[in-house]
């Protein structure tokens, strides 16, 4: 991510800062965990949203008993596409007035993750740096999808959700990665790699799927391909707090970049795309150079210590995270919850 594109100054209070015990947490004598620590079922996590005034205001109103029912969240899928790290160049503005820019080549990290910076015109998390993903489409659920790997029934058990939702979310995950990066989590029935005959990174097909002229299942059938659900690994599950007007019920997955494929950022929803080491992304966030939202921070944290793509792949499932507004004794409002197994 370029520095000019990401200069989102968060101030001293960042979304991902470690937080002290809340009234609720202290009363129950449990440790309060930060999203800058790997999560696991049973952990109690809290995080500040002081850098998001609108979120704080809505959380306060919710705690005060604001009228109205919470908005039903839309099902969504997000994919952390990972690959072996490569050396890369970066450029920083000098911290000294009038100083020359600082330019350097960063050594390869064990793991890189593909990320996109969302356009400033987007209604949800504008300018944020995110993983490929998006909302589940009705055709992800209803249309037949050629399938290989763990079945929707098996995924439903892993995800603690109905079979139809599991099928739709897995399909949405593969579809969104294809639309936003050109990477196909699919193969021929015999396992053979998909062939991009025009060598234009599936430009016409991606546009047709993205504009809903054809469903992802129809595209796969026309090409004689099958969705490879075994190329994805469940990472975490986050649900937007009930205090928010725009809510998502999002499953996060991890996928290795398939051999002989590459990722780009040709999507109208993003203005920039790059491979970046998880630790580098978090460092730039801390420096105010990238805007990251809490679920992204947490999922990056879960693999930041991985010494290989295999280790990232084998990282345990973080759990189900359903944060809600929490009022501290000091009057501060944060978001928090107990991470659950189901």
Residues 6+ apart with CB under 8 A from 220: 145, 146, 186, 226, 227
Residue 18 lies in a domain: no
Q: Which range among 11-25, 115-129, 236-250, 323-337 shows the weakest confidence by mean pLDDT?
A: 11-25
Residue 32 lies in a domain: no
**Residue 119: pLDDT above 90?**
no
Residue 262 lies in a domain: yes
**What is the pLDDT, as a whole number, of residue 88?**
61
**What is the pLDDT, as a whole number, of residue 1?**
62
Confidence of residue 15 (pLDDT cuts 50, 70, 90): very low
Structural contact between residues 172 and 244, judged by C-beta atoms closer than 8 angstroms = no
**Residue 138: pLDDT above 50?**
yes
Residue 242 lies in a domain: yes
Mean pLDDT across 63-88: 92
Strand 74-84 relative to strand 248-256, pairing: parallel
**Residue 16: pLDDT above 80?**
no
**Residue 251: pLDDT above 70?**
yes
**What is the pLDDT, as a whole number, of residue 118?**
83
In the block, residue with structure tokens 């987007």 = 122
What percent of the chain lies above the pLDDT cut of 90? 70
**Residue 281: pLDDT above 80?**
yes
Could you tell me the residue range of the domain that residue 206 belongs to? Answer: 72-319
Structural contact between residues 290 and 279, judged by C-beta atoms closer than 8 angstroms = no
Residue 78 lies in a domain: yes
**What is the pLDDT, as a whole number, of residue 21?**
37
Q: 238 or 22: which carries more pLDDT confidence?
A: 238
Mean pLDDT across 163-182: 97
**Residue 149: pLDDT above 50?**
yes
What is the CB neighbour count within 10 angstroms for residue 307? 10
Residue 312 lies in a domain: yes
Residue 330 lies in a domain: no
CA–CA separation, 118 and 129 (whole Å): 6
Residue 25 lies in a domain: no
Q: 270 or 170: which carries more pLDDT confidence?
A: 170
The token pair at 196 is 């991009």
**What is the pLDDT, as a whole number, of residue 107?**
72
Q: 242 or 3: which carries more pLDDT confidence?
A: 242
**Residue 304: pLDDT above 80?**
yes
Q: Which range among 126-140, 264-278, 305-319 shows the weakest confidence by mean pLDDT?
A: 264-278
**What is the pLDDT, as a whole number, of residue 250?**
98
Mean pLDDT across 290-312: 96
**Residue 225: pLDDT above 70?**
yes
280, with CB counted inside 10 A (0-12, 13-18, 19+), is: buried
Mean pLDDT across 223-245: 97
**What is the pLDDT, as a whole number, of residue 94?**
59
In the block, residue with structure tokens 């795309």 = 273
CATH code: domain of residue 298:
3.90.79.10
Of 161, 115, 101, 92, the closest CA to residue 264 belongs to 115
CA–CA separation, 131 and 297 (whole Å): 11
Q: What is the mean pLDDT of the chain?
A: 87
Q: Which range among 114-128, 180-194, 304-318 shows the weakest confidence by mean pLDDT?
A: 114-128
Q: Which range among 169-183, 185-199, 281-295, 320-334 shows the weakest confidence by mean pLDDT?
A: 185-199
Q: Which range among 56-60, 217-221, 267-271 shows the weakest confidence by mean pLDDT?
A: 267-271
Structural contact between residues 40 and 319, judged by C-beta atoms closer than 8 angstroms = yes
Structural contact between residues 62 and 247, judged by C-beta atoms closer than 8 angstroms = no
**What is the pLDDT, as a whole number, of residue 333?**
95
Confidence of residue 102 (pLDDT cuts 50, 70, 90): low
What is the CB neighbour count within 10 angstroms for residue 142? 12
Q: 4 or 175: which carries more pLDDT confidence?
A: 175
Structural contact between residues 144 and 218, judged by C-beta atoms closer than 8 angstroms = no
Confidence of residue 71 (pLDDT cuts 50, 70, 90): very high
**What is the pLDDT, as a whole number, of residue 198?**
74
Instruction: Give the number of domains in the chain.
Output: 1
**What is the pLDDT, as a whole number, of residue 170?**
98
Of 70, 156, 152, 150, the closest CA to residue 342 belongs to 156
Confidence of residue 61 (pLDDT cuts 50, 70, 90): very high
The 3-class secondary structure across the chain, one letter per residue, is CCCCCCCCCCCCCCCCCCCCCCHHHHHCCCCEECCCCCCCCCCEEEEECCCCHHHHHHHHHHHCCCCCCCCCCEEEEEEEEEEECCCEEEEECCCCCCCCCEEEEECCCCEEEEEEEECCCCCCCCCCEECCEEECCHHHHHCCCCEECCCHHHHHHHHCCCHHHHHHHHHHHHHHHHHHHCCCCEECCCCCCCCCCCCCCCHHHHHHHHCCCCCHHHHHHHHCCEEEHHHEEEEEEEECCCCCCCCEEEEEEEEECCCCCCCCCCCCCEEEEEEECHHHHHHHHHCCCCCCCHHHHHHHHHHCCCCCHHHHHCCCCCCEECCEEEECCCCCEEEEEECECC
């Amino acid at each position: 991510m370029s520095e000019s594109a990401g200069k989102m100054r968060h101030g001293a209070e960042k979304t991902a800062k470690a937080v002290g015990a809340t009234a609720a947490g202290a009363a129950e004598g449990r440790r309060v965990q930060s999203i800058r620590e790997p999560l696991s079922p049973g952990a109690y996590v809290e995080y500040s949203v002081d850098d998001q005034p609108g979120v704080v205001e809505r959380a306060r109103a919710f705690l005060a008993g604001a009228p109205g029912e919470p908005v039903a969240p839309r099902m969504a899928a997000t994919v952390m596409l990972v690959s072996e790290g490569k050396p890369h160049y970066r450029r920083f503005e000098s911290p000294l007035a009038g100083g020359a820019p600082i330019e350097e080549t960063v050594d390869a990290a064990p793991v890189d993750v593909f990320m996109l910076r969302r356009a400033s015109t987007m209604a949800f998390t504008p300018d944020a740096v995110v993983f490929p993903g998006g909302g589940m489409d009705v055709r992800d659920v209803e249309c037949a999808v050629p399938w290989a790997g763990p079945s929707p029934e098996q995924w439903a058990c892993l995800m603690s959700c109905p079979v139809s939702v599991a099928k739709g979310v897995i399909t949405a995950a593969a579809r969104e990665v294809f639309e936003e990066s050109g990477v196909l989590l699919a193969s021929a029935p015999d396992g053979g790699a998909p062939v991009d005959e025009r060598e234009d990174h599936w430009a016409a097909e991606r546009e047709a799927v993205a504009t809903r002229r054809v469903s992802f299942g129809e595209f796969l059938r026309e090409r004689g391909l099958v969705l490879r659900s075994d190329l994805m690994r469940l990472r975490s599950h986050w649900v937007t707090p009930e205090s928010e007007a725009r809510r998502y019920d999002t499953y996060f997955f991890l996928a290795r970049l398939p051999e002989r494929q590459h990722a780009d950022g040709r999507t109208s929803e993003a203005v920039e795309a790059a491979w970046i080491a998880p630790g580098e992304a978090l460092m730039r966030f801390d420096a105010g150079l990238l805007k990251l939202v809490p679920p992204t921070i947490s999922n990056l944290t879960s693999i930041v210590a991985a010494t290989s793509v295999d280790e990232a792949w084998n990282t345990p499932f973080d759990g189900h995270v359903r944060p809600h507004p929490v009022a501290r004794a000091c009057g501060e409002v944060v978001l928090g919850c107990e991470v659950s197994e189901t």
